[in-house]
Chains A and B, each alone.
Chain A
Amino acid sequence: MGTLLLHNPISMAKRPCPSQISPAAPPPLNQMDELLETFLSSSSSLSVDLSFDRLLESRASSDSDQAHLIDTAVALGSALLHAAKRSARKRASSHNSLYWPLPRELTINVFSMLDTQSLCYAAAACSMFNKYARDPPCYANIDLTTIVPKVNNAVVSTMIHRAGTSLQSLKLGIVPGPIVSPGSCQPLVYSIRNSVDVSKFSWNDKRSRQGKESSILTRSCLSPLVGDNGAPGTLLRRLHLYNIERMDNTSLCGALSACPSLLDLEIVGLHVELRQTLMSVSANCHLIERLFFESSKTGRDDSLKTPTCTDLVENCPHLTSLALRGFKLHDNKVRVLVKGFRKLRYVDFSTSYSITGGFLRNLGSSMGGNLLEVLILRDCMHLKEVEVARLLTAVIEGDYKCLKHLDISNKEGLASEGDWYDRCYKSSVIPIKQVLAERPDVCLLAEFPTEGSYIDIDQMADIVQESDVGLPSQLSSHISDASMFTSSSESSYNSDQGSGNEDGHDANYVMYEESSDEVEIDLNGGFYGAQAEVSLAS
């Protein structure tokens, strides 16, 4: 285009000039080169500016001459600018390819470690990166988690498509704050509460802002994984979903049925039923090694049944890490799980309701407990002091020989034997110091409310320093004022009473049956008696 301009300056004139000016023949190339060289080397912006004005002045007599001059100047000026900028870009590209030290393959490797938004930004940095970022391996680990809703189904679909046969991992949804490593248990528990608030807030917002629905993930956001032969889901090894409001059982189970190679499944804050989800995993994901579920219904999902547990144990023998947080779990069912998974090393039942700890009896030396390295029972409302004592005694005696990390902290203290309303903050029965003495390899976290707490902060620091910390344990600052507990404890006890009659703002949420239908294995007559009391007292 530039060449055209140089040769036909007159054809660019906006107003056709009448007879007066005869079209001059375009100067031959080398003459133009000389002209340009002279022009560029001997001009300054100011001199050009002034010369142009003078030239115009000299043609003041002919309006059309002036018009023509101006038009030509614009055309030629643009041509020069365009050519110069194009060359500048070429030089920039050269600079980039000379300066950037990593070859294509390694750059793509780096890109595959970026979250998807950062990858898009890298692709916008320069043309070299843009080219590299089109390579499917860059999208092997799709991370579309965001703090505020900005990803919709179309984006998910696009990224899955870009990954092609390189797809390995998909993370999706709303995560308030940076995602924490699976080792630490506190933040996710609290973030789920915050996020429920956040999403409730935005739900209301969206209702009032009709038309802004475009940034929401709907129930079919995972449908690109499903399909006929060679569907992307078959490649997926890791799937992490956070707080996707509109996800329901059918869609999730549908997606799981398309992911037979799944090794790592993390579900936080989805309105799905535990039983159905586990059944789907049982049926489809036989290679699964890590399951991390955090309920959106804090203690009200009571759907887990014993057959579900036995099926899961049978069909998914490779499970090494299991976390079920915020569900209503019964000891006998949990026992099936912990005993049945032969390779189980990591267990986290934080903020579970109903489990008393009875499931741990005689487990430490048998199949289930032998390989256990991490056991987290933080903030389990019904965890009994007496069961914890039993557990710690077993640990002292050498059971749970692989145990590295044990967390029995509870911000409301432990439940007493008779009446679980009666909280125990100071126990003479729990042999904490002995554990530290006999089993220095175990990192023990036992944080209880300050008033009456037998573990104060200084001792806490000692415990952590003494033992070989196997995991990055987070010393939480939840040792709060006991006076706060008398009021808050009421509300937390009450929250257990609900059986799913709450705001069904998710129409798809299935009401689960009462657990009384089942035959329950009576491990200890007394302890089921206590449980019956609990469920009746509303």
Chain B
Amino acid sequence: MALELKSSDNKIFEVEELVAVQSETIKSLVEDGCADNVIPLPNVDSKTLELVLDWCKNHVDMKLDEEKLKEYEDKFIEVDQAVLYDLLLAANYLNIKDLLNRACQKVADMLKGKTPEQIRETLNIVNDFSPEEEEEIRKENLWAFEE
């Protein structure tokens, strides 16, 4: 049984129902009988949707092979920050738990072991604390900032 999904930039993707229902969102639509026509996904662009569907397909194919799946997942998540955030948001919107988890983990890994300044650099964030506020923050978690 095939479903048709439409990305935000109006590209149509045809997928097996078994693959598409990895998304809880799509699964509910199917169960409610609303999936006869093309399913519009205004929050996901085609580039991201393609990646997401690849993830879903591989998870169906490699379901029984833990080792192979892990290898695939590790490789899959090695993407640019921008793509990573898109994936994360898409996984959230489409409610695909394992992809959401993996993407969040990847972002967390990006931050681990970094100082506040390094975190800002990595995420392109600016320091908006006053000197007094910074001192307060240091004091709140003094143990973390001591050397």
Contacts and interface: CB of A to CB of B under 8 A. Distances in A.
Given A113-B105, A118-B111, A470 B67 contact: yes
Interface stretch (B9-17, B24-32, B43-51, B128-136): B128-136
Given A89-B130, A106-B92, A100 B144 contact: no
Interface string A355-379: 0000000000000000000000000
Name which of A90, A99, A121, A129 has the most chain B CB atoms within 10 A of its CB.
Answer: A121
Given A109-B104, A121-B119, A126 B129 contact: yes
Interface of B: 66-67, 85, 88-89, 92, 100, 104-105, 107-108, 111-116, 119-120, 123-130, 133-134, 137-138, 141, 143-146
Contacts of B100: 109
Given A92-B127, A92-B128, A130-B129, 10 more contacts: A89-B130, A101-B85, A106-B88, A109-B100, A110-B111, A118-B111, A123-B137, A124-B137, A124-B141, A125-B123
19 contacts: A89-B128, A101-B89, A110-B111, A116-B144, A118-B111, A118-B113, A120-B141, A121-B116, A122-B111, A124-B141, A125-B116, A125-B125, A125-B127, A128-B125, A129-B125, A150-B146, A468-B67, A469-B67, A470-B66
B128 A93 contact: yes
Interface of A: 85-86, 89-90, 92-93, 95-96, 99-102, 106, 109-111, 113-118, 120-130, 150-152, 155, 215, 468-470
Given A110-B104, A469-B67, A130 B111 contact: no
Nearest to B81: A101
B138 A100 contact: no
Nearest to B134: A124
A121 B141 CA distance: 9
A127 B128 contact: yes
A96 B138 contact: no
Nearest to A150: B143
A114 B116 contact: no
A120 to B, nearest CB: 4
Instruction: List the 8 closest A-B pairs by CB distance, nearest first.
Output: A92-B128, A113-B108, A92-B126, A120-B144, A120-B141, A124-B116, A101-B85, A93-B128
B123 to A, nearest CB: 7
